[in-house]
Amino acid sequence: MADPLLRQWEMLKLIPRERKTTVKELKDKLEGLGYIVTRRTLERDLDRLSIPFAIEADTRSKPYGWRYALNMHPANIPGLTSSEALTLVLLETYLKTLLPVAIADNLAGHFAAARHAFSVEHSDSKLQSWLKKVKVLSPGQHLQAPTIDPSIQRTVYNALMQGYQLEMDYLAANSTEAKHYGSVHLQGLVQYGSVIYLVVTINEHADLRLLVLHRIQKVKLKEKVLCPLENFDLQAYIDEGGFGFGESSQSIQLIAIFRNGAGHHLIDTPLAIDQQIERIDPQTLKITAEVLDTPQLQRWLSSFGPDLEVLSPEALRSTIAELHRKAAQLYIR
């Protein structure tokens, strides 16, 4: 980093008030942010800035320690550090949709400042390079995210935060006309791929339903406290197959043969804790694992086509075979 002012700016933000820090610690932290600097340069910076910024040195023993004077407020340096900017850019890119809308609104200025920091102030830093070298991808075919009405999202997120009921018009995927729900009790929210799902109960019913945020046509926040489902735990609901997109959540012991290298990813990301792998040859694996029997599992197994053979259970083997037979018929002329 050529500009000494930016380096000094970052250094001032790294100096603590409650304890001392050494020149070596400052040097290591600055280099982690992409600023290559010598110890002697840092010592000159500290000496030069010690009076205007009330930085004091503890010279009683080596290595000398530096901190802001206890009877002075630490310097209020405007702007973001490089590490703060990096964190905010990644947060906005990958997790903004999971933030309460009010918090996302409050952070809007910080998000803009972080983007500006990397485009202008830190455009040649190692952390800017880091942003270009790391990405998050979802497995499977890339799909465009659905369009979500910001005002509807704000209302739904407020209901989740405040614990209030919702009234809404909801258009299901297999319907042409929206259905009106007078009282929707939002028990949880899950982002699955690019789609945001609401885990809800409706009216006085206790059975859980999944609604997708982008299919809400109209919504109103009711100033009535929602009825929380007794003993409901969102993580347990997910673990028990709540997102298998079907009613079945029975455990089965799956035994399947993956050919042509199709199952190699299961070596690093197992289907279950009890998964067992038998290597038949370099490109063929026999996988045994206890899993939930859901439509989601069936779709996943079918996606491997001829590279997968389900051996057990027999009912699942028959189901997958029938799916492939029907698919093959579409290509026979």
Same domain, 168 and 226: yes
Same domain, 63 and 89: no
Classify residue 106: in a domain, yes or no.
yes
> How far is residue 263's CA from residue 328's CA, in Å, rounded to a whole number?
23
Domain encompassing residue 295? 251-329
- pTM for this model (two decimals): 0.70
Residue 284 lies in a domain: yes
178 and 225 part of one domain? yes
| Shared domain check, 224 and 204 | yes
Residues 229, 159 share a domain: yes
Are residues 187 and 114 part of one domain?
A: no
Q: Which two tokens stand for residue 175?
A: 């319907």
In a domain, 138, yes or no: no
The verdict on 101 and 160 lying in the same domain is no
Q: How many domains does the chain have?
A: 4
Neighbours of 39 (CB within 10 A): 13
Pair (233, 154) in one structural domain: yes
Question: For 70, what's the count of Cα atoms within 13 Å in the CB-facing half-sphere?
Answer: 4
Is 75 within a domain?
A: no
Asked if residue 305 and residue 233 are part of one domain, the reply reads no
Q: Report if residue 145 sits inside a domain.
A: no
pLDDT in tens, the chain (333 residues): 457 888 888 888 888 776 788 999 898 888 777 788 899 999 999 988 888 888 888 877 777 788 887 666 555 555 677 778 888 889 998 888 888 876 787 677 778 878 877 776 666 667 777 888 888 887 777 888 899 999 999 899 989 988 999 999 999 988 999 999 999 999 999 998 889 999 999 999 999 999 999 999 999 999 899 999 999 999 888 888 888 765 556 889 999 999 999 999 999 999 999 999 999 999 999 999 999 888 889 999 999 999 999 999 999 999 999 999 999 999 987
Residues 178 and 234 occupy one common structural domain: yes
Same domain, 197 and 225: yes
User: Does residue 73 sit within a domain?
Assistant: no
* 18: CATH: 1.10.10.10
Question: Does 325 map to a domain?
Answer: yes
151: which 2 tokens? 């005002």
DSSP string, 188-235: EEEEETTEEEEEEEETT--S-EEEEGGGEEEEEEEEEE--PPTT--HH
